[in-house]
Structure 1
Amino acid sequence: MTLFSFRKLSYTKSAAAARRKDEVKESEAGSCLRNKSSSVNREYMEAFRTKSYVEVQTQLLAANTTCGAAAAEEHRLHTTPSHRRLQLCHLLAGADDDQLQYYYSSQPHDHHPLLNEYFLVSLEASKMCESLLKNVLHTRTNYDKNIKCATKGVAGGRGVWSAEQLQRAYAQLQSFSALRNPLSTASQVRFNEVQDGHFALLHRLTSRARKLKRKMKLLRLLRKALGATLAVGCAALALAFTLVAVHCAALCVLASPGVVSLLLGGVRKQQQKGKKQPRRLQRRERVYLQLDAAAKGVYVLINDFGTMSRLVGRVHDETEHNRAMAGLCARKQNDEMVKEVVRGLAAHEAGFSDHLKELEQHIYLCFLNIIRSRRMVLQQIINSAL
């Protein structure tokens, strides 16, 4: 065997050994990664199943099982995803109210009166959102029971209708026209009154926050000016004592170093004291942060209610139009009119469902924004109490 062949053979063996070692390391790393992934997943599940999660889940299950004694249709309504989301929002609001009530009962004297008004307004807004959500669910239920049943199988059809189809259309349209519009309680006048109250509260919050901000700025300027004046006065007094000590040698030897050090120490102490904010300024700053957070929450609430009032008005008008057409058909008892009205309702069925869904989603968004804003203000109050 030549020297070249021996070197080639040794190189091949070393390369094979290195590959086997890399494969062993990769297998160990893979098993370690799988073990770590399983342990991370197990820890995540253990951390997720906390006491609060179990309590909310238990309350939801208990709320869903309370409808067992109701009729089958009522049970179907209470088990829809929309109703479960409504229950979840109600539970979240209840937890937020419990936390707020606990804090107010523990420290009832340490917050601004405008914050009390903000929490009352936000509570009324959340109740209004909950009432609107129930009305939207009732509107969808009435529409599905009557209009969808009347337009079933005849959408866009211009053929011959059977007597059974006409009888069913008459019955469903008459039943729908006799129902009350659930969104009639949420009139535009009520929305305008609520928004006027929100605008008034926002004006009071912002004006009070501006006054506090101006006072804090003025106090800071006064403190800086007072500190500079005291520093200049102490320095001038020290210089005067030094000049007197120069003319009086004995006084300079005995008293001047002590006096100068005393005055300089007073200057340093005043500067260190000036770095710390007084308690009154800190309290004003905390109140300013609380009022600013409340003003932001009211501003978001105004925008949400403005959009929601337009969406409610649109769905309300469409429902009233459908009821009017259904009532006209029920009174006239004209077959051709019934056919044309049913075709029109079938053509606009998808659009009405989309409008209902958009309104429902915006109510959820408004409801959660209220909860988020209240918790933000409450967190500012708790931070100021620490």
Structure 2
Amino acid sequence: MLKCLSFNSSPSSSTVQNPSQDGTPNISDAYYRAVHTTSFSEIRSNVQAHVHHLNPTRERVQQALALSNPESLTRLFSAFFDHTEAASDLCLNLHHCVLRARALHAPLLDLFRTLDPSHPSQNDCVRALDLFHPFHTLPNPIPDSHTFSAIRTDLSALKTTLDRRAARSLRSLRLSRRLLRGSAVCLVVVAAAVIVATVAATVHAVVAIAGSGAGFALPVCASEKRELARLRQLHAAAKCAYVLSNDLGTIDALVSRLRAAVEGDKVLVSLGLERGNERYLVQEVIKQLWKSHQGFLHQVEDLEEHIFLCFYNINKARLLVHQEICSDSTS
């Protein structure tokens, strides 16, 4: 079952199920919305054409980061965009591997369409053996599992750093607000003292003190505004890193399952080649390959859908963090 973690909710929030036509929940509402958006369809078409365009581009990211400060935040966000770009490259390479897996199995699938897999004839066995040789010789195109382990580790470490930096920003905000409240109390006390000391100068004194108090409060408010903007950026990047890490973990599991399926088919083919003179055994190999190919096709489609969804989420994450950075620099 495909699921899509939302960038608009906390990592612990559950997904809402989208009912099927018979009223039975069978797919997450977030995933349903994602795969029916124009951007998802465009990404899918581009990837199928062997191209994928990051959005925002590296140039736009660098322009936004050049305007952000302090330098420590710039390094963190730069690492986020670097990791997402690396994940995108790995997804594109993985999709090429899936296409090679389809090509490897295509001759066998064509064979199965022309025979009765439950009762293969002698001629069917001869044709199958001819196809077994290239299938056995070519390597498994699906890479080893844990393809995204390094990127997931980087994203997890980055999320931890972002969370710590966000905690510092939150402490700074709380301190700023306490100082602001303290300055307001001091202002009231001083104003009252002035009023008691000289009634004649009450208006002038209060105006003067209020003016000096406002002059003190303005830099605190500006500082708080900047810290709030940084906090939004940090939260956005941390949430996106969490979602993408989960996406890549799901893909890793699907890759491992598909690779095992291809290896299982290779074992069957190898057995058929070793005992090619035994018709009954070759017939059994054909039957088992037919059964396994139904699962193979499903696994390939499942993995491809998750790859497309990951491309979509990568762009969505990059856009979200980029927008937060740009909104701070223009405010």
TM-based fold match above 0.5 = yes
**Counterpart contact for 1:231–1:267, Cα < 8 Å:** no
Q: What corresponds to 1:311 in structure 2? A: 254
**Counterpart contact for 2:136–2:269, Cα < 8 Å:** yes
Question: AA paired with 2:79?
Answer: E
1:108-139 per-position Cα deviation (integer Å, ceiling 9, x unaligned): 76661211111111111111111111111111
**Counterpart contact for 2:170–2:231, Cα < 8 Å:** yes
* Larger radius of gyration between Structure 1 and Structure 2: 1
Instruction: State which of 151, 156, 181 in structure 2 corresponds to 1:194.
Output: 151
Q: 1:89 & 1:262 partners in 2: Cα distance?
A: 74
Q: Which moved more, 1:368-377 or 1:267-276?
A: 267-276
Q: What corresponds to 1:295 in structure 2? A: 238
Q: What corresponds to 1:118 in structure 2? A: 80
Residue 87 of structure 1 and its aligned partner are, at CA, apart by: 5.5
Q: What corresponds to 1:99 in structure 2? A: 60
Q: 2:312 & 2:62 partners in 1: Cα distance?
A: 19
**Counterpart contact for 2:56–2:318, Cα < 8 Å:** no
**Structure with the higher fraction of residues in helix conformation:** 1
2:265 counterpart of 1:322: yes
Q: What corresponds to 2:285 in structure 1? A: 341
Q: What corresponds to 2:112 in structure 1? A: 151
Instruction: State which of 130, 148, 151 in structure 2 corresponds to 1:171.
Output: 130
Q: 1:149 & 1:170 partners in 2: Cα distance?
A: 14
Q: What corresponds to 2:172 in structure 1? A: 215
Q: CA RMSD in A?
A: 2.6
TM-score, L = length of structure 2: 0.78
Instruction: State which of 192, 195, 215 in structure 2 corresponds to 1:238.
Output: 195
Residue 91 of structure 1 and its aligned partner are, at CA, apart by: 4.2
Instruction: State which of 261, 276, 298 in structure 2 corresponds to 1:354.
Output: 298
**1:78-97 pair list within 5 angstroms:** 84-86=45-47, 90-93=51-54, 96-97=57-58
Instruction: State which of 260, 265, 289 in structure 1 corresponds to 2:207.
Output: 265
Instruction: State which of 135, 138, 150 in structure 1 corresponds to 2:100.
Output: 138
Q: What corresponds to 2:184 in structure 1? A: 227
**Which structure has the higher relative contact order (CA within 8 Å, separation 6+)?**
2
TM-score, L = length of structure 1: 0.68
Q: 1:95 & 1:282 partners in 2: Cα distance?
A: 26
Q: 2:250 & 2:172 partners in 1: Cα distance?
A: 36
Question: Identity of counterpart residues, as a percentage?
Answer: 25
Q: Secondary structure at the match of 2:294?
A: helix
Q: Structure 1 stretches of 5 or more lacking a match?
A: 1-52, 54-59, 61-80, 243-255
**Counterpart contact for 1:89–1:367, Cα < 8 Å:** no
Q: 2:68 & 2:273 partners in 1: Cα distance?
A: 60
Alpha carbons of 1:94 and 1:213: their partners in 2 closer, same or farther (altered >3 Å)?
closer
